[in-house]
Amino acid sequence: MTSPSASESESLQIETIEREIDRFRAEQAAVQAEVLDLLRREDPAGGVTFHEDIFRLQQDKLRLDTEIQFLQVRLRRLKSTW
């Protein structure tokens, strides 16, 4: 059994990780909204394209996906020992 102070420490870590996941998800939603906005504003026939920006944002979204997955693994590991 874990000591009370260790249990409190793990509880704080869990709360911190959950806040980070929420922050990354909010950032991810903002990135996705920006991608959709750029796609709507594109006019390839008129020469207005945002392919570089869209690509960069999609890469950022993938990075955020990875960060979230990493934090979820840490969270599961902490909760399994808690």
List the chain domain ranges: 4-81
Give tens-digit pLDDT for 42-62. Answer: 999 999 999 999 999 999 999
What secondary structure letter does DSSP report for 47? T
The half-sphere exposure of 14 on its side-chain side, counting CA atoms within 13 A, is 13
Q: Angle of helix 51-81 relative to helix 4-41, nearest 10 degrees? A: 160
Angle at CA 73, nearest 5°, toward 31 and 64?
A: 10
Give tens-digit pLDDT for 6-25. Answer: 667 888 999 999 999 999 99
Structure tokens at 60: 């950022």
